[in-house]
Amino acid sequence: MKPGAGCRIGLHQLSPGSRSIVAFTGGAALPGIDKSPAAESMNMAVRVRVWISGLVQGVGFRWAVEDEARAEGVTGWVRNLPDGRVEAVFEGDEVPVRRVVEFCRRGPALARVDDVEAVREEYSGEFEGFSIRR
C-alpha cells in the first residue's frame, strides 16, 4: 500500500477533558500530534494505547516494538491478545511516542499490519522501562 492510500482517520473529543480517540489505517499520521518543527522542539509527555491487527503474532512483532521503543526512549509494554491482535501502551515525549506508533503501522518484515487503533490517554509516568507482557 502506498503511503496515504486507503487511510481512515478519525479524531473524536468525547467531552471536555476526556481522552481523544484516534483510529487510522495505512499511511495516516497520528491525529492530535503536531509534526511541525516548532512542536518537535517542545516535546511534552504523552501516553498512547494501541491495538494492532493483521498478521502480528508469531512474526517477532512484540520484540521489534520493544527494540523500537527502547531505541526511542519510550516506556510501557506490549502483549499479544487472545483475538490475534497486539496491544501496547507507550509513554514518553510526544515525538518519540509518535515514531513508535508509526513503526507499529509497518511492523517487522514478516508482519502484515491491517489496522492500528490508537487511544490517547492521560500520561502517568508509571513505567521505568519497556517490557513484553505475557
The tens digit of pLDDT for each residue in 68-96 reads: 999 999 999 999 999 999 999 999 999 99
- 66: Cβ contacts below 8 Å, ≥ 6 apart: 78, 130, 131, 132
Residue in 19, 47, 62, 106 annotated catalytic: 62
- Do residues 107 and 94 make contact, with C-beta atoms less than 8 angstroms apart? no
**Cα(59)–Cα(55) distance, integer angstroms:** 8
Catalytic (active site) residue 43: no
pLDDT per position as a tens digit, 12-69: 333 334 444 444 334 444 545 555 555 555 679 999 999 999 999 999 999 999 999 9
* 99 among known catalytic residues: no
